[in-house]
Structure 1
């Protein structure tokens, strides 16, 4: 029996269609973002992206806050701009919260092992009509070019179910440990800024074999400081793209427009503060205008952040590292990518969305590398002309 709420939502769906050619079925649109819908989800016609967003929000009991007085425009070109307004629009459109099941296995327990999907492919008679053949996740699928719309949608649904079960019950192995270690590092940093002298920092990378000669860490230290400075600035001031503040390791911040004030109040500055500010201004502005802006655009999560740190730490291009270390680097980085895939799947992203998110995340790496080059060059010039004296740990861990 259909409830009143569901029947009302179903009646509403009849108005949510766009005109189609006479020989095709009407094409529904998503009532949330206006994109093409593949059918009803939780009582109304939505696209898969909005359905996954709604399922994830309800099942994980997520709460969002709008930064623009809950007046954000949600459409297919900007549906990810505000999660709060998007979820409220889902509710207003009639999406049913109680329809979200904690378990996404709609098949139930199986009495006997299920045959491989390839064994259940429909047998088709040979025909002279042109056919198309493709390979989706290792499963060959073929059919006539002019297929009925309903068959096409069914095949897409079958592929989607296979994609969603790719990760199964897989669990992340590396990223949760790194995230725990990173939180531990943040608590340590409140008591000491000499990171290299703190033995507890090794807990950030527990269960991983670090080269005794700290070759990996020596190269990693400057990437950590620059990346963390950008990420913490994003978390503190990222809501305003015009905010020029940059968070410092001690918890304070500096404004790019008042940079000389920072050098007026540090004992490391050996020359005119304006001279020091002029020297370091390009490197610091690069962090605010390029790196923080990139992080803001992709809305970086904590797991994505520690994954980027992992890419910098486990670096196989460094000289003087043993073959065993190279093997460890490769296996660890592969595990990080697997963890990212599991993380994205758990958030409800499709294969295409995962590819885009991973690509945008990796595009941050050359920008951070450029930032480190700028800082090391500026620091070398500052020491050469006795403008600024770097801390001992910064000099000791300067990348080669």
Structure 2
């Protein structure tokens, strides 16, 4: 069926000289019957998920050829819809390409593009639902983590949390994306393994954002102490490195990650909904070769939903800045890919210098995923 040229509904018919759904026809009739005073456009001030203002909606009605005069000629909309064959000038809407017909009959200077005319519902339900689920995930991770009382865990202690992270992550996925339950166990395990290194980056960046004031005040000495504590206590017995050696080997990785990955992402000043979009776009990455074609297809479908909701959210957030904001947010996915390569190199370097990392974690590092 032809699309409504006003709101995009699939059930459209001839109304008042144009082609729209019954809801838009009713709006058009009420607009001219009401005694409301016309006001300027308020779309920029409208709330998320609300409809466009009356003035923008009526402008689209007029742009597709709708006219209040046709209502007077045919008396009411039901007669026009049910007895369309009596009016040859409207017959083309049923028999010809709708877009061509509208283009030929729309007044000069008005918008005739289907994309320009449609009003797409701006749903962001997935991103909104993701926020409380992520908070619940963080709470459970802290409650069941290794040595909760410590301010900083070393790399071995964190890598020992791998199985817990896998279980909690999949619990969150299962709750948010029920279609994932249909996947084979091998695909579920592969999705989690592919996500682990990106997950560690996300956690680090979120911790920095949450404690931004603390990190901004951190001097060079405090920064070096934090790096040393991350590796200290993880060495094999008798293979310990001095603090100076730890900084010489590993500090460049921290500096590179901060300037090339974390810094640019933090600089975007992302909202919670945008962060959730990034998280799930990274999780449902269909570019890996260790997942089945069915899993790839599911990932593509979910990513389409997330991309659409991300764009919807950013349109409502700031309509004027949407194109650049959307591109910058999506480009951050490439930064995580770069961070993953850095992280892989760091873990292999740990192995060379006798830094203990949990075997399950190292197996994920070494897996061929591409």
Match of 1:166 among 103, 119, 130: 119
Kept after mapping to 2: 8 A contact 1:280/1:378:
yes
The structure with the greater share of residues assigned to helix is: 2
Match of 2:352 in 1: 384
Determine which structure has more spread, i.e. the larger CA radius of gyration: 2
Higher RCO, 1 or 2 (CA under 8 Å, sep at least 6)? 2
Give the Cα separation in 1 of the matches to 2:219 and 2:306: 31
Kept after mapping to 2: 8 A contact 1:304/1:340:
yes
Kept after mapping to 1: 8 A contact 2:141/2:168:
no
Q: Do structure 1's residue 222 and structure 2's residue 197 form an aligned pair?
A: yes
Give the Cα separation in 2 of the matches to 1:119 and 1:239: 61
Q: Do structure 1's residue 212 and structure 2's residue 185 form an aligned pair?
A: yes
Match of 2:18 in 1: none
SS at match of 1:119: coil
Give the Cα separation in 1 of the matches to 2:269 and 2:117: 23
1:137-181 Cα deviation digits (max 9, x unpaired)? xx969998xxxxxx8xxx6xx89xx9697333x422432333332
Match of 1:346 in 2: 316
Give the Cα separation in 2 of the matches to 1:245 and 1:291: 21
Structure 1's 383 and 222: CA in aligned 2 closer, same or farther, altered over 3 A? same
Kept after mapping to 1: 8 A contact 2:123/2:312:
yes
Matched residue pairs, number?
A: 266
Kept after mapping to 2: 8 A contact 1:215/1:321:
yes
Gaps of 5+ in 2: 1-38, 68-101, 146-160
Match of 1:364 in 2: 332
Match of 1:23 in 2: none
Match of 2:212 in 1: 237
Give the Cα separation in 2 of the matches to 1:370 and 1:340: 22
The structure with the greater share of residues assigned to strand is: 1
Match of 1:300 in 2: 270
SS at match of 2:65: helix
Give the Cα separation in 2 of the matches to 1:342 and 1:284: 35
TM-superposed CA distance for 1:397, in Å, is: 2.9
TM-superposed CA distance for 1:330, in Å, is: 0.6
Structure 1's 197 and 260: CA in aligned 2 closer, same or farther, altered over 3 A? closer
1:232-274 Cα deviation digits (max 9, x unpaired)? 212321798x55689xxxxxxx953434541475345742233
SS at match of 1:373: helix
Kept after mapping to 2: 8 A contact 1:238/1:296:
no
Give the Cα separation in 1 of the matches to 2:233 and 2:103: 66
Kept after mapping to 2: 8 A contact 1:230/1:288:
no
Kept after mapping to 2: 8 A contact 1:177/1:204:
no
TM-superposed CA distance for 1:317, in Å, is: 1.8
Q: Do structure 1's residue 119 and structure 2's residue 65 form an aligned pair?
A: yes
Match of 2:138 in 1: 186
TM (normalized to structure 2)?
A: 0.59
Match of 1:197 among 164, 175, 190: 164
Kept after mapping to 2: 8 A contact 1:316/1:329:
yes
Kept after mapping to 2: 8 A contact 1:230/1:291:
no
Match of 1:176 among 128, 140, 148: 128
Q: Do structure 1's residue 395 and structure 2's residue 362 form an aligned pair?
A: yes
TM-superposed CA distance for 1:216, in Å, is: 1.4
Give the Cα separation in 2 of the matches to 1:391 and 1:245: 31
Give the Cα separation in 1 of the matches to 2:204 and 2:219: 11
Structure 1's 282 and 120: CA in aligned 2 closer, same or farther, altered over 3 A? farther
TM (normalized to structure 1)?
A: 0.55
Give the Cα separation in 1 of the matches to 2:336 and 2:278: 10
